Amino acid sequence: MAEKLSREYAQQLDQQDELKRYRDEFYIQPGTIYFDGNSLGLLSKRAEESLLSMLDSWKKFGIDGWLKGDNPWFYFSEKLGEKSASLIGADPKEVIVTGSTTVNLHQILSTFYKPEGKRTKILADELNFPTDIYAIKSQLRIHGLDPEEHLIQVKSRDGQTLDENDIIDAMTDDVAMVVLAGVLYRSGQILDMEGLTKAARERGILIAFDLCHSIGSIPHSLSDWDVDFAFWCTYKHLNGGPGAVAGMYVNKRHFGTSPGLAGWFSSDKNKQFDMEHELTAAPDAGAMQMGTPHLLSAAPLLGSLEIFEEAGIERVREKSLKMTDYMMTLIDDELSEFDFTVANPRDDEKRGGHIFLEHPEAARICKALKENNVIPDFRTPNGIRLAPVALYNTFEEVWQVVRILKKIMTDEEYKKFENKRDVVA
């Protein structure tokens, strides 16, 4: 055990790391340990290159960039969808890069949530990220339904995780659709997406997953699991950049459904410039698009996704688990006297890509970490998220962060700060 607590042991793990070469592809500020990749991933040189290449095509071709160059703009969203498909285990035609997390959930609900007869309710949970709940409530109101009555939010037994049996029990015959996270944004719990989908299918209920904290962090098999829909952002583990264009998955069983929120990019590409006032929707997930693609916000993804194609999501997951397991080992030994609680699941099958610590002084501790050049993520009221990202963080950094945390607590460095979050946590 003593060996694992040494810096030399961490350095040995780094020497054995099959993904270590990718660290040099990212812009890392000297002297800084960045452990907030589950909130905003770092810029890679390839993402920068693909953005500059998009700008160059605009410079070189003007409007002809829609069909000219290495990556014609007219088909760019579909190309990124194809490159994203392996990360979620889907047929490329089932994936489109478009919109934002919230816009894409609105599109899914507008298109497929059809309250009829007794089936009027949407099932979610009390731990979901607020934007999903806001979108669900607004869609219920659009249908003239009261969210207090028609939104079911499954309770957490411990305030951090969900019991899948509780979710399944709530799949009653008045539920039309289920919306859940693949990985919970606070605790990092991985939900049993396959089991929950099977339960929903047996009950005739549609199911959608928010993959914001799971895509690029864990493998998925959405098509094999027969998930109906999924949606996600691309600026966390996928390193697409702030405000990067999001993604959506639609099971091929639902192809041919007219989009609830239609626009000219919902069109079949062969008909789009016919300028007809009757939409001929794309025959695949492309129908879920609305307006003109945000090309400059999508471009960095091309480079980012190429890295994932090379590294492989299975290897990314393997290293991520090793890093978070190592971090928990160090926390248990080095920080046991300081009232930290490891609130993320410890089981590999249930743990996503980050560690979630709880402490009454969490906001102050996060500020002290930043003063020590460690970038964490604070979550109200008392949560510290720490994400050692497989593509650019090291085991030695994991060792350093725990040592810095111990110094902050031992020397009470955190007491110089106010225990409240900044405007952006």
Query: 335-346 pLDDT, tens per residue?
Result: 999 999 999 999
Name the burial class of residue 369, with classes exposed (0-12), middle (13-18) and buried (19+) by CB atoms within 10 angstroms of its CB.
buried
Fold of 2-30+312-410: Aspartate Aminotransferase, domain 1 (3.90.1150)
Predicted confidence (pLDDT) at residue 230 exceeds the cutoff of 80: yes
Per-residue pLDDT for 424 more than 70?
Answer: no
Is 294 annotated to bind a ligand? Reply is no
Instruction: Give me the numbers of helices (H) and strands (E) for the chain, helices first please.
Output: 13, 13
CB distance 87 to 211 below 8 Å: no
Q: Is 111 part of any known ligand binding site?
A: no
Residue 261 banded pLDDT, cuts 50, 70, 90: very high
Look at residue 1 in the predicted model and tell me its pLDDT.
Answer: 64
**Annotation-wise, does 102 bind a ligand?**
yes
Task: Compute the distance between CA of residue 89 and CA of residue 221 in angstroms, rounded to an integer.
Answer: 4
pLDDT tens-digit readout, 37-65? 999 999 999 999 999 999 999 999 999 99
Pairing of strands 121-125, 151-154: parallel
What percent of the chain is predicted at pLDDT more than 90? 97
pLDDT computed for residue 422 by the predictor: 81
Q: How far apart are CA 28 and CA 392, in angstroms?
A: 8
Q: Return the SS3 of 406.
A: helix
SS3 411: coil
Tokens of 141: 């109101």
CA distance 150 to 123: 8
pLDDT at 151 over 90: yes
DSSP string across 291-338 = S---HHHHHHHHHHHHHHHHH-HHHHHHHHHHHHHHHHHHHHHHSGGG
| SS3 call for 391 | coil
Distance, CA of 121 to CA of 152 (rounded, Å): 7
Establish whether 380 is an annotated binding residue: no
Nearest to 89 by CA among 167, 168, 245, 193: 193
Count, residues in the chain: 425
Mean pLDDT to the nearest integer, 120-148: 98
Cβ neighbours, 10 Å, residue 375 = 19
> Which carries the bigger pLDDT value, residue 297 or residue 418?
297
pLDDT band at 19 (very low <50, low <70, confident <90, very high): very high
What tokens does 163 get?
């019991």
213 labelled binding-site residue: yes
| Residue 421 confidence class, pLDDT cut points 50, 70, 90 | confident
| Per-residue pLDDT reduced to its tens digit, 349-406 | 999 999 999 999 999 999 999 999 999 999 999 999 999 999 999 999 999 999 999 9
Mean pLDDT over the full length of the chain: 97
Q: pLDDT grade, residue 5 (50/70/90)?
A: confident
Listed in order, the ranges of the chain carrying CATH 3.90.1150.10 are 2-30+312-410
Whether domain 49-310 has CATH 3.40.630.30: the reply is: no
280 assigned ligand-binding residue: no
The packing angle between helices 130-142 and 101-112, to 10°, is 30
Residues paired with residue 33 on neighbouring β-strands, in sequence order: 374
Instruction: Give span(s): CATH 3.40.640.10, the chain.
Output: 49-310
Q: Residue 151: helix, strand or coil by DSSP?
A: strand
